[in-house]
Amino acid sequence: MASEKSEKTEKKKQKIVVVGAGPVGALAAIYAAQRGHDVEIYELRNDLRDPSTTPLNFSRSINLALSERGINAMRHSGRPDLVEKVLGETVPMRGRMIHGKSSSGEFTEQPQDYDIHGGVLHAADRGGLNKTLLDELETMPNVKFFFSHKLTGADFKNHKAWFEISHSQTSLDSTGTRAREVEIDFDLMIGADGAHSAARYHMMKYARLDYEQTYIDTLWVEFTIEAKDVRENQDPALRFAISPNHLHIWPGKEFMFIAIPSSDGSFTCTLFLPSSHVATLEADPSAIPTFFDTNFPGVTSLISPSTLIHSFKTNPHLPLISIKCQPYHYGSSIVIIGDAAHAMVPFYGQGMNAGLEDVKVLFSILDDQTSTSSYLNAHARSRALATYSKYREPDAHAINDLALQNYTEMRASVISPLYKARKYLEESLSVWLPSLGWRTKYSRVSFGNERYSEVVKGDEYQARLLMGMMADMGVLGVGALGFGVWALLGARRVRSVLDVRRVREVFGWLSG
């Protein structure tokens, strides 16, 4: 009986190859290794924990906002201390800080909490997060790392792949003129190698894959607000030049500047700008400080004009890509996740979170198939991957679209009365009528685990109801809304539910 159990356990054990050692690939490798599989993780670059390793975009990258979906995926990894290790290196952000200038010329800051129930995002350094996940992998005996390995070919019918070894004299072939290539076999390849995925490229030779790629007419450039010098006996929070618990936004109708805190006291900043404006500033970099003073008031007091010019001239001006494709698998041999499957613009802060959630969803479906069979054979695995593609596609496409839409919100809508009014009304209903399940779209996306596609449906329903309420208010005045709430809750609770003075404030255009 014991030998039969051992045989079944051995049959369940498979060779899983993960292509890409970023956060999503690393978490996928953890999930696979935790299930007892032999795991090999291949990465084009050198060890990502080495500070000298150049990021693929030649930049520190836009800082990451880790939200509930990503945290939940790590929580279910089977590694009890992983979430604590990751969150210990992040900075909590409770909301946005909107920067501007008053009519009298004074700099203004307007905080907007993300969630009336206290939800926070966690600002994470991509390199630090990656290191934590890879260090966790290194403690698992059934995991092998292969850095500086480039995927050059694959035969997904026969479960074989070829990798080119680079960056070493010992990696040259017998002629000494080209990099040596190695052949491997596998049961399942997981492609987590980013927007320009080699795994997806080779999968497209086998799968009938629909593919859509879009570049938006916006480039991004990185800047840094340096940490302040503090004495050893001073509060470390004094290192931050501006509030560390907010994502800072300088909105503009066509462009935007943001700053995200880092645990060392600095802020990683990003300028998002249409390509025509970038070209204008490239032609005359001396105009950059004036451009910032005009459009992003207060920034030149945080980053010196000379540093702004230097950063703009030396840091790359990078495009933003949006990718949709379907299906995400071929047969029983490969599945793509993260940016390889659904790269999105960064304006909802969900790119990495969606990728980490991919891992949880994928292995949950694989586990379901394993539980119905003595071991996950090729047929069962193929069925599981097909289920994953069908299930995940509407959610990936939904968050892809939401990310594009949120760019408009972040650079313009955050300062509009209509946006503020809807947010206030939705949060009031969320607090005082919880049985309705009413929540803002942002809260549903960032502080819950509801499917993205269901979030969109729920938000569209709420929008129809709210637009009706707000139309009534436009005709009958603020009292119409108060009467509606009175009818729902009774007179004694109206004053608690709805602060009419506050409503008049956010609906300034109603009260004149």
The last residue of a domain, from among 302, 319, 336? 319
Whether 376 has a pLDDT exceeding 60, the answer reads yes
Whether 359 has a pLDDT exceeding 90, the answer reads yes
Residue pLDDT, tens place only, 231-256:
877 787 899 999 999 999 999 888 99
Share of the chain above pLDDT 70, in %: 78
Helix (H, G, I), strand (E, B) or coil at 330: strand
Per-residue confidence (pLDDT) for residue 84, from 0 to 100: 97
Task: Specify whether 295 is located in the same domain as 425.
Answer: no
* Sequence-distant (≥ 6) Cβ neighbours of residue 283 within 8 angstroms: none
Q: Which domain holds residue 34?
A: 2-89+125-209+328-409
Task: Specify whether 35 is located in the same domain as 67.
Answer: yes
What mean pLDDT value characterizes the chain? 86
More confident of the two residues 52 and 10 = 52
What is the phi/psi pair of residue 230, to 5°?
Answer: -130, 155
Per-residue confidence (pLDDT) for residue 337, from 0 to 100: 99
Note the pTM of the prediction, 2 decimals: 0.86
- What average pLDDT does range 391-401 have in this prediction? 98
Residue type, 400: N
Task: Specify whether 168 is located in the same domain as 286.
Answer: no
Kindly indicate the confidence band of residue 449, based on its pLDDT and cuts at 50, 70 and 90. very high
Cα distances from 506 to residues 27, 194, 268, 346, 498, in angstroms, run: 43, 42, 31, 28, 12
The last residue of a domain, from among 388, 409, 430? 409
Query: Does residue 109 form part of some domain?
Result: no
Per-residue confidence (pLDDT) for residue 324, from 0 to 100: 98
Task: Specify whether 159 is located in the same domain as 61.
Answer: yes
Whether 330 has a pLDDT exceeding 80, the answer reads yes
| Highest mean pLDDT (candidates 101-115, 344-358, 495-509) | 344-358
Question: What is residue 172's DSSP assignment?
Answer: B
Residue type, 237: A
Whether 329 has a pLDDT exceeding 70, the answer reads yes
Judged by average pLDDT, the poorest of 82-96, 206-220, 498-512 is 498-512
Q: CA quadruple 339, 345, 349, 354: dihedral positive or negative?
A: negative
For strands 267-273 and 188-191, give the pairing.
Answer: unpaired
Task: Specify whether 70 is located in the same domain as 186.
Answer: yes
Query: Does residue 115 form part of some domain?
Result: no
Per-residue confidence (pLDDT) for residue 252, from 0 to 100: 84
- What average pLDDT does range 181-207 have in this prediction? 98
Least Cα distance to 308 among 296, 319, 326, 318 occurs for: 296
Residue pLDDT, tens place only, 474-500:
544 444 444 444 444 444 444 444 444
Residue type, 208: R
Q: What is the CATH number of the domain that holds 133?
A: 3.50.50.60
Per-residue confidence (pLDDT) for residue 58, from 0 to 100: 44
Least Cα distance to 327 among 340, 311, 313, 315 occurs for: 340
For strands 121-124 and 64-66, give the pairing.
Answer: antiparallel
- What average pLDDT does range 101-123 have in this prediction? 93
Distance CA 129, CA 70 (A): 12
Kindly indicate the confidence band of residue 89, based on its pLDDT and cuts at 50, 70 and 90. very high
Tokens of 128: 């630090």
Distance CA 203, CA 210 (A): 12
Residue pLDDT, tens place only, 12-66:
689 999 999 999 999 999 999 999 999 999 999 999 888 776 555 444 555 799 9
Residue pLDDT, tens place only, 63-87:
799 999 999 999 999 999 999 999 9
Residue pLDDT, tens place only, 294-323:
999 999 999 999 999 999 999 999 999 999
Per-residue confidence (pLDDT) for residue 177, from 0 to 100: 62
Count of structural domains, the chain: 3
H and E: helices and strands count for the chain: 19, 19
Per-residue confidence (pLDDT) for residue 365, from 0 to 100: 97
Whether 194 has a pLDDT exceeding 70, the answer reads yes
Query: Does residue 112 form part of some domain?
Result: no
Task: Specify whether 44 is located in the same domain as 147.
Answer: yes
Neighbour count for residue 508 (Cβ, 10 Å): 11
The last residue of a domain, from among 378, 409, 440? 409
